[in-house]
A and B are shown apart, each in its own frame.
Chain A
Amino acid sequence: AQKITQTQPGMFVQEKEAVTLDCTYDTSDQSYGLFWYKQPSSGEMIFLIYQGSYDEQNATEGRYSLNFQKARKSANLVISASQLGDSAMYFCAMREGRGTGGFKTIFGAGTRLFVKA
């Protein structure tokens, strides 16, 4: 069954250091997409980065990069040079499906990141 696992309920990181948030997934589909979203205390969901299952290179978006290891079914988010504003809840999500079948998306339980000054 489709599943997303985030094993770190909470993480601390020192400002300006890098941090890795773990995400593993389980799917029998060959075509899928992996996403990371940030949810600050204000509640909105902010898109960070996307990785397609057929993408050969790891995705990067500014200070965010996705360490995609397909064989291990992991899609870890790496945040470089952490900033105080990075303190938030981070969700890993996976979307299966294609075309007329529609897309079903599931989210992990989230990791709360605390950035220390």
Chain B
Amino acid sequence: DSGVTQTPKHLITATGQRVTLRCSPRSGDLSVYWYQQSLDQGLQFLIQYYNGEERAKGNILERFSAQQFPDLHSELNLSSLELGDSALYFCASSVEYGGRQETQYFGPGTRLLVL
């Protein structure tokens, strides 16, 4: 158990819908990362937040957005869903201070199926 929690574990929805994925980082971790893992694209970095502020952006679609709240939990919002958005979505967290690179610990993931 990495200490990172994600809900829900599974999500089935229809095209055009909107869903919210939730992540709670490890205790003490200020940085949260979101990833998408699909069969054709592999594991893709989406976005990083640090202490409530967006820090880095990867291959995140405009239909997707994220935020990190004062209690440090994070949410990833996916809207106007398409079949191709079906994937495993991971959240990871790390301690980030003084610019030192720290290991990212992953949550169990949310498996999204868009029908």
| A interface residues (Cβ-Cβ under 8 A, vs B) | 31-33, 35, 37, 43-47, 50, 52, 91, 93, 95, 97-110
Contact = CB atoms under 8 A, between A and B. Distances in A.
Contacts of B101: 31-33, 52, 95, 98, 103
Given A91-B43, A99-B99, 20 more contacts: A32-B101, A33-B101, A43-B108, A44-B2, A44-B109, A46-B106, A47-B104, A47-B105, A50-B103, A93-B43, A95-B101, A101-B56, A103-B48, A103-B56, A103-B96, A104-B48, A104-B58, A107-B43, A107-B44, A107-B45
Interface of B: 2, 31, 33, 42-45, 48, 50, 55-56, 58, 88, 90, 92, 96, 98-99, 101, 103-106, 108-109, 111
A43 B55 contact: no
A47 B109 contact: no
B98 to A, nearest CB: 8
A47 to B, nearest CB: 6
B104 A105 contact: yes
22 contacts: A32-B101, A35-B104, A43-B108, A43-B109, A44-B108, A44-B109, A47-B106, A93-B43, A98-B101, A99-B98, A100-B99, A101-B55, A102-B55, A103-B56, A103-B101, A104-B45, A104-B48, A104-B56, A105-B45, A105-B104, A106-B45, A110-B42
A35 B88 contact: no
8 closest A-B pairs by beta carbon, nearest first, are A102-B56, A102-B55, A99-B99, A45-B106, A107-B43, A33-B101, A98-B99, A104-B56
Nearest to B97: A99
A41 to B, nearest CB: 13
A98 B33 CA distance: 15
Contacts of A109: 42
